Amino acid sequence: MRRRGLHRVPGAAAFFAMAMALVGCPDERGSVEVVEPTAETAAKGARPPISGMAVEVVSARSEATIDAEAVRAVLRDAEPAFLACLDPDDSTGMIALKLGVEEDGATLDVASQQATTYGTDDARACVERIVAALRFPTTPSRERFELAVTLEVRKRHEL
């Protein structure tokens, strides 16, 4: 049985050269870092953010002594992720949440409150998942506390 060399198979040499260029030699390959997707990335994969909408922090209250402006900043920084959760019909409304915050700032249980007027169950659950992944500032005494947050979903030009 006669074997064919790469030079006798049309296009084989070019294919082999391209494959080697893509794969590279072991010394030329860079390291690859595997990063787990964040809640924001996962939410963005569902549908693109609605650019004409905004999610504004209306209130952030707690009986504990906390830096309310720092809490608001954490929530404002999460707006791109919240936008990925919004219903595609440009509806508006409020999302009222109650959550616990651990000594280290990790979020405990997140629950929608009766004052919530925004969106579908899926949209509200998405926002809750994002809030549950956030870390908030802690109290000076490093104790657990409850936080009541209200977010308003509205058209960006109304801001």
pLDDT one-digit tens code per residue, 6-24: 444 455 444 444 444 434 4
Strands of the sheet containing 107-112, edge to edge, are 53-61, 145-155, 93-101, 107-112
CA 9, CA 15: separation in Å to the nearest integer?
10
CA 107, CA 95: separation in Å to the nearest integer?
17
CA 137, CA 121: separation in Å to the nearest integer?
28
pLDDT at 46: 43
Lowest mean pLDDT among 39-48, 59-68, 87-96: 39-48
CA 125, CA 119: separation in Å to the nearest integer?
10
User: DSSP assignment, residue 106?
Assistant: B
pLDDT bracket for residue 65 (50, 70, 90) = confident
Terminal alpha carbon distance of the chain: 78
Entry pTM: 0.65
Residue 26 has pLDDT above 80, yes or no: no
Q: Do the bridges between strand 93-101 and strand 145-155 make them parallel or antiparallel, or are there none, so unpaired?
A: antiparallel
pLDDT at 23: 40
Per-residue pLDDT, averaged over 110-118, amounts to 93
pLDDT at 64: 83
Question: DSSP H helical segments within the chain, as ranges?
Answer: 12-23, 39-46, 68-77, 79-85, 121-132
Query: For the chain, what is the mean pLDDT?
Result: 75
Q: Report the alpha-carbon angle 51-70-100, nearest 5.
A: 95
pLDDT at 57: 94
Residue 32 has pLDDT above 90, yes or no: no
φ, ψ for residue 155 (rounded to 5)?
-70, 140
pLDDT at 51: 64
Query: Beta-carbon neighbour count of residue 39 at 10 Å?
Result: 18
CA 139, CA 135: separation in Å to the nearest integer?
13
For residues 33 and 7, the model is more confident at 7
pLDDT at 104: 87
Do residues 100 and 146 make contact, with C-beta atoms less than 8 angstroms apart?
A: yes
pLDDT at 67: 82
